[in-house]
């Protein structure tokens, strides 16, 4: 009597590999979009934090500051975001207003979407090259 050998055939293994490849091809672009959105949200949150801290500084000193150290950041200016994807800085500040921006560092496809975020003392938010990065986080 012959015993029947049990195991996985090459065809079955190839089917599994093809299915996993298809699932990965579908999931990877969504994952990249999710990561890019998270990094943009990180830059926007950092700028909103700077705006809040600038208002606190203004209440105590009657002027805005260009020194990020005064606001509690480590570094005078050009402070990296938590992931290091954006460089946050205060471009200008005086007794009337301030301008802060976040510049995207890696030179990949994302830089053509939301490369620079800005905020000023009046709360006006901007971005480039796309003008709706603050409101359209689906990019």
Q: What is the CB neighbour count within 10 angstroms for residue 80?
A: 14
- Alpha carbon distance 139, 136 (integer Å): 7
Closest CA to 88 of 102, 74, 99: 102
**In the chain, domain spans:** 10-129
**Local confidence band at 8 (pLDDT 50, 70, 90 cut-offs):** confident
**pLDDT at 13 > cutoff 60:** yes
CA torsion angle 77 81 87 89 (round to 10): -40
The residue with greater pLDDT, 91 or 2, is 91
List pLDDT tens digits, range 63-84: 999 999 999 888 778 898 888 8
**Local confidence band at 139 (pLDDT 50, 70, 90 cut-offs):** very low
**Residues in the chain, overall count:** 139
Residues facing 98 on adjacent strands:
93
According to DSSP H, which parts of the chain are helical?
10-61
Query: What mean pLDDT do residues 39-61 have?
Result: 94
In the chain, % of residues over pLDDT 70: 90
**pLDDT at 7 > cutoff 90:** no
């Amino acid at each position: 009597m012959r015993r029947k050998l049990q195991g996985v055939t090459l065809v079955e293994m190839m089917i599994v590999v093809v299915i996993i490849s298809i699932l990965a091809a579908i999931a990877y672009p969504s994952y990249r979009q999710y990561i890019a959105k998270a990094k943009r949200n990180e830059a926007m949150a950092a700028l909103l934090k700077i705006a809040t801290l600038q208002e606190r500084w203004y209440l105590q000193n009657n002027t805005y500051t260009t020194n990020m150290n005064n606001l509690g950041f480590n570094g005078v200016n050009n402070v990296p975001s938590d992931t290091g994807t954006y460089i946050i800085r205060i471009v200008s500040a005086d007794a009337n207003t301030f301008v802060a921006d976040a510049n995207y560092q890696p030179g990949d496809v994302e830089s053509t979407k939301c490369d620079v975020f800005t905020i000023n003392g009046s709360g006006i938010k901007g971005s480039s090259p796309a003008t709706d990065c603050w409101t359209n986080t689906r990019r």
